[in-house]
Chains A and B, each alone.
Chain A
Amino acid sequence: MSTNFKYWEPYISPFDPCPPIRVKVYSTPPNLYMTFQPTGMRQYKTAKEALQHGTLWPELFSPYPDSPKRGELDG
């Protein structure tokens, strides 16, 4: 399955005025990988769970924000 976030390391100049954010993050939600939704995809078990996620299908759910362990915060 596709990952919801990708990471990249921008160029860090020795003359950058602010402390560098070494790893930057951007979203790649599941819709990017699904040109046309296939039929019969697995659904959430309860209607309440689906409502909370905003979709019937776990495969289409995109978490946000990313876990704080990676991405902009850890530098």
Chain B
Amino acid sequence: MWYYEKKLQYPVKVTECNPMLAKFLIEQYGGADGELSAALRYLNQRYTIPDKVIGLLTDIGTEEFAHLEMIATMVYKLTKDASPEQMKAAGLGAHYASHERALYYENAGGSPWTATYITAKGDPIADLYEDIAAEEKARATYQWIINLSDDPDLNDSLKFLREREIIHSLRFQEAVEILKEERDSKKIY
């Protein structure tokens, strides 16, 4: 089970109303390498992975939900007071027609989130390599969004999230090393 803390993992501040930036950011909300995919991927893999790395998947999967909440806050702030005309000009006309200003799990191109974004192979090495690749892809996505954004406050939060991807990737690589360890040769001292 989970306990909820009613605050963001890292503060989110948005300088200006910019619905087009929201359209790009939604990639990290409901895109293939976004935070929703990450959280669901890791939390689902926990059940069939060796017990030494279950805790890591729980911790990182939980943190991804905290990231999802930050992205949601950004998207909400960027669009909450936008006029229908502004939404249309930002390329969100189709989104507005279907969802008004509601958030939706979709990628930057407007395709809805799908479970095909995540895998669960059941092979611990294959699953962890998938996780490492997902973290690197999410890091790259943050980079491309930072390149597209000229909002300094928002970029501050995005740089925090990009750094977390780097740390998570390392933790998953450490998990692979743990699963590679030869149990018999571990008795060193």
Do A and B interact?
yes
How many residues of A are counted as interface, with CB atoms below 8 angstroms from the partner's CB atoms? 13
List, in ascending order, chain A residues with CB within 8 A of B183's CB.
Answer: 6-7
Residues in A whose Cβ lies below 8 Å from that of B181: 6
Considering the complex, which residues of chain A in the window 20-46 have a beta carbon less than 8 Å from any beta carbon of chain B? 24, 26-28, 32-33
What residues of A have a CB within 8 angstroms of the CB of B176 in the complex?
32
The answer to whether B50 touches A26 (Cβ under 8 A) is: yes
Which of A10, A11, A33 is the one whose CB lies under 8 Å from B180?
A33
Name the one of A2, A10, A26, A27 contacting B182, with C-beta atoms under 8 angstroms: A2
Q: Please, which residue of chain B has its CB at the minimum distance from the CB of A3?
A: B182
Residue of A whose beta carbon sits closest to that of B52:
A8
Which residues of chain B are within 8 angstroms of A7 by Cβ–Cβ distance? Answer: 183
Residue among B123, B124, B176, B181 with the most chain A CB within 10 A?
B124
Main secondary structure of the interface of B (DSSP, over half): helix
Give the interface size bracket for B toward A.
10 to 19
B179 interface residue per 8 A CB criterion: yes
Are B182 and A11 in touch, CB under 8 angstroms? no
Q: How far is the CB of B124 from chain A (nearest CB, A)?
A: 5
Contact B180 A8 (CB under 8 A): no
What does the 1/0 interface line of B118-142 toward A look like (CB < 8 Å)? 0000011100000000000000000
Docked Cα-Cα span, A35 to B176, in Å, equals 14
Are A27 and B125 in contact (CB-based, < 8 A)? yes
| Nearest CB of B to A7, in Å | 8
Alpha-carbon gap, A6 to B180, bound state (A): 8
User: Is B51 among interface residues, defined by CB-CB distance under 8 A?
Assistant: yes
Q: Using a CB–CB distance below 8 Å, which chain A residues touch chain B?
A: 2-3, 6-8, 10-11, 24, 26-28, 32-33
Which residues of B are in contact with A by a Cβ distance under 8 Å?
Answer: 50-52, 123-125, 176, 179-183
